[in-house]
Amino acid sequence: MDRTIPSTQQRVTLVARPEGAPRLSDFAMSASPVPTPADGEVLVRTVYLSLDPYLRGRMGSSATHSSSTPMVPLGGVMEGGTVGEVVLSAADGFGPGDLVAGNSGWQEYAVQPATALRRLDPAQAPVSTALASWGCPA
C-alpha cells in the first residue's frame, strides 16, 4: 500500500447558508495544503464519510439552527463523521496504517488530536459500520 502523503488535498467548504434544500452553489471545492500533526496529533486520510441529516441544521441560519451545536462557519470545512487511516503520527499509541473513527469533515486529510479518535478493528466488523450501527451518527 502506497502511503505517500501529497502536499495538497481537496476539501469542501460551506460558502452560503442554504435557503431550503442545499444547492451545489452553497459549497466550494478547493485545494489546500495537507496539514502536519503537532505533538499528540495524527494525520488521518479519510476513507469513509458520513453525510447525516443533522448537517442541514449546521448549515442553516440562526433561524433554522439548534443552539446546542455551533453552525459551520462560512468558508469552513463542512463537518462530518469519518473513518480514516492514520498516515502520520505524532502521538503515542497510533501509527501509520491504524484505522480510526473521528470527525475529520469533508476533506481528504485532517489533523486530529489522538484523544478525539477511536481505534477500529476490522476483524470485529467492517470499518464503515463505525459510522452507522457500530458508531453514533450525531
Task: Give the C-alpha separation, 84 to 104, whole Å.
Answer: 9
Buried b (16+ CB within 10 A) or exposed e, 99-128: bbbbebbbbbbbbbebeebeebeeeeeebb
pLDDT bin (cut points 50, 70, 90) of residue 138 is very low
pTM of the complete model: 0.85
pLDDT of 47-58, one tens digit each?
Answer: 999 888 888 888
pLDDT at 127 over 60: yes
Q: State the cell numbers at 56.
A: 442541514
> What cell does 120 get?
477500529
In the predicted model, is pLDDT for residue 2 greater than 60?
no
Residues 50-85 pLDDT 10s: 888 888 888 886 545 555 778 899 999 999 999 999
What's the grid cell of residue 109? Answer: 486529510
Cα–Cα distances (Å) from 45 to 21, 56, 68, 105, 109, in that order, read 29, 24, 29, 11, 5
